Amino acid sequence: MLERKQLKGRTQITFILPEDTPGGPVSVVGDFNHWNPAAHPLASRGDGTRAATVALPANSAHSFRYLAVGDYWFDDEQADSHDGINSRLHT
């Protein structure tokens, strides 16, 4: 799931997943962090979810995916769109 908050000239995106789906560490990776799995690991929020937040330029589009243990890549079903390979978001 994606949550958005408008800031001056930027959009804050929070990527949210259930705490245990999938199990183990998960990172959000995308063109905004050069596909670096260490850049935005999801952290527990104490409400049964985990999340990572990124501030991106307003009026932009980005590709992203999630990366879990065991080199398991997956998409966000609630993303704005999908391009056949990646999830897409629009700020």
Domain range for 43 is 2-90
pTM of the model: 0.93
Bridge partners of residue 56, in order along the sequence: 11
Number of domains in the chain: 1
pLDDT digits (tens, 9 = 90+) for 6-61: 999 999 999 999 998 899 999 999 999 999 999 999 999 989 999 999 999 999 99
DSSP class of residue 41 equals B
Q: What is the predicted pLDDT for the residue at 53?
A: 97
Contact 14, 2 (CB under 8 A): yes
- The CATH number covering residue 54 comes to 2.60.40.10
